[in-house]
Amino acid sequence: MNIKPTLVILAAGMGSRYGGLKQMDSIDNAGDKIIDFSMFDALREDFDEVVFIIKKAIADDFISQVGKRVEKHFKVSYVYQELDKLPEGYKVDATRVKPWGTAHALLCCKDVIKKPFCVINSDDFYGRDAFKKIHDFLVTPHAADGKMHFAMVGYELNKTLTENGTVTRGVCVADQNGFLTDINETKNIKHKGNDGTYELNGAWHDIKGDTLVSMNFWGLTPEIFPYLEKGFKEFLNNTQDLISSEFYIPTFIDTLIKSNKCDVTVLSTSAKWFGVTYKEDKPEVVKSIAELKAQGVYPEILWQ
């Protein structure tokens, strides 16, 4: 059986640091967005379905500017991440405005995704090699040993930082067999020479530039959804801050690893990552895309 994986795109963020909806911000003269390049790479690597996770508030614009452009190439579905999308018996704090996080966004897809899939951010450029690596993993049979078998594409920290502010990264540790052993969600990271440094409890801590980090590029299977449902309830029951705390994919997968429910193969890639955390990041992204088009990596107009 020829399995064609599904591409799941996290696009519900409201771009508070960016100052707008960066998932719909054009980065070339053809009107292409970063999300278009991810979909184009996925299409070249034999993905046949895309699931967009968005907010209802941006649905009309998103569907017309993004979704409609690729309906001839993919089966397209839309899933809505909303604050009130909670398990029965739970309520939203009246003062909460932030989304519940990437793991909650993924949970919203549980009734739509039926085959192996990869999850990406809408505002990150990952490169075709990353999609090839994740595709090959997802279509390869894995041992029936009672564990879920997942993968992630890792990038070196110093290649994912911006000069325009701090970022949050899932800092990863792999064992000698290439399996992920730890993921630590680390906030407030910024450049320090060729390395990084992050602020925690008022103090700064250095971190090596070649440290592997997660950029939310995961290869998963639908087996994860029952665990996600249980995990989200545990998050809601145990968090001390229901106003701003978020349920993150890396943090959740870390708990699955620690409880021996899954293993995660770390896939290295030659692809270059870049993204637009802040508005000031955009010129460098525009320049990088123009260079890739000039080199023939991408056509001048993606969706002809």
Residue 19 confidence class, pLDDT cut points 50, 70, 90: very low
In a domain, 1, yes or no: no
In a domain, 132, yes or no: yes
Write the CA distances from 20 to 15, 33, 123, 162, 197, integer angstroms.
5, 14, 12, 18, 27
Calculate the average pLDDT of the chain. 91
Q: How much is the pTM? A: 0.91
In a domain, 300, yes or no: no
Contacting residues for 240 by C-beta, under 8 A, at least 6 apart: none
Write the CA distances from 110 to 47, 106, 114, 123, 296, integer angstroms.
19, 7, 8, 23, 38
Q: How many CA atoms lie within 13 A of 265 on its CB side?
A: 17
Interval 10-14 mean pLDDT: 79
In a domain, 76, yes or no: yes
Instruction: Give the CA diameter of the chain.
Output: 55
Is 80 exceeded by the pLDDT of residue 270?
no
What SS3 state is found at 54?
A: strand
Which structural domain, as residue segments, surrounds residue 197?
Answer: 6-294
Dump pLDDT digits (tens) for 20-68.
Answer: 456 678 888 888 999 999 999 999 999 999 999 999 988 998 999 899 9
In a domain, 182, yes or no: yes
Q: How many CB atoms lie within 10 A of CB 56?
A: 11
In a domain, 301, yes or no: no
Is 90 exceeded by the pLDDT of residue 279?
no
Q: How many domains does the chain have?
A: 1
Interval 148-155 mean pLDDT: 95
Angle between helices 34-44 and 128-139 (to 10 degrees): 50
What SS3 state is found at 44?
A: helix
> CA-CA distance, 124 to 104, in Å (whole number)?
19
CATH code for position 42: 3.90.550.10
Interval 82-100 mean pLDDT: 91
Choice between 184 and 128, residue whose per-residue pLDDT is larger: 128
In a domain, 227, yes or no: yes
At CA 123, angle to CA 34 and CA 215, rounded to 5?
120
Residue 14 confidence class, pLDDT cut points 50, 70, 90: low
In a domain, 147, yes or no: yes
Dump pLDDT digits (tens) for 57-76.
Answer: 889 989 998 999 999 999 99
Read off the DSSP letter of residue 28.
S
